[in-house]
A and B are shown apart, each in its own frame.
Chain A
Amino acid sequence: EAQVTQNPRYLITVTGKKLTVTCSQNMNHEYMSWYRQDPGLGLRQIYYSMNVEVTDKGDVPEGYKVSRKEKRNFPLILESPSPNQTSLYFCASSPPGAGGSYNEQFFGPGTRLTVL
């Protein structure tokens, strides 16, 4: 089944304790992206990657890191989490193609993170 998977789905942690949220897709997509979703703010892009070893900042990158060593994986790293990073996080990927198909983002199920 074509899908984007994220782990963990739920995580409660404490301020300053490094954590990684994994994202993996099995559709051979080149483009991957991380978003955070907060009430009343919609989805805001954190980082994105056009291909292996190619990453760039989105709209809200502060406090986050990413890496893209393999095409299928795009982990999100919080090296020193703070309470304002409590949020719902989504990973997404897009296929290449014309006619806007490269904008059809496939989303993972989300990771709900609470930082105490």
Chain B
Amino acid sequence: AQSVTQLGSHVSVSEGALVLLRCNYSSSVPPYLFWYVQYPNQGLQLLLKYTTGATLVKGINGFEAEFKKSETSFHLTKPSAHMSDAAEYFCAVRKGAGSYQLTFGKGTKLSVIP
């Protein structure tokens, strides 16, 4: 079964510092991987996704993630944190080949300190 582990339920960074949110996955099929962001009192929205092809994927708001098969990782990064990045971030993997369903990680809450 597919699973996702997000290391760190809460991460704090200073404004302008590097953001690194960690995601490791387990998948018995070629993984499709996703990062979603949830701003306070809102639903989730897609930040970026990896399906096939280029392993470094760029998303909205300056975020990017790199798929590393050997490490079964899909960590999310942003070179310089902004106050508006404060939110909860969820990593997700599709449940199976051709499946519409996603398995979500437990989330990482990002705080940005001015």
Contacts and interface: CB of A to CB of B under 8 A. Distances in A.
Interface of A: 4, 31, 33, 35, 40-45, 48, 50, 58, 90, 92, 94, 99-100, 102-105, 107-110
Contacts, number: 60
B84 to A, nearest CB: 19
Contact of A109 (B42, B51, B104): B42
| B43, B102, B105 — most chain A CB neighbours (10 Å) | B43
Contacts of A48: 100-101
A58 B104 CA distance: 13
B14 interface: no
Contacts of B52: 99
Interface string B83-111: 00000001000100001111011110000
Nearest to B109: A39
A114 B34 CA distance: 30
| A48, A105, A107 — most chain B CB neighbours (10 Å) | A105
B100 A90 contact: no
Contacts of A33: 100-101
Contacts of A109: 41-43
A102 B43 contact: no
B100 A94 contact: yes
A29 to B, nearest CB: 10
A94 B34 CA distance: 14
Contacts of B45: 107
A100 B94 contact: yes
Nearest to B9: A40
A100 B104 contact: no
| A100, A103, A104, A109 — most chain B CB neighbours (10 Å) | A103
A50 B49 contact: no
A102 B46 CA distance: 13
A42 B105 contact: yes
B42 A110 contact: yes
Interface string B57-76: 00000000000000000000
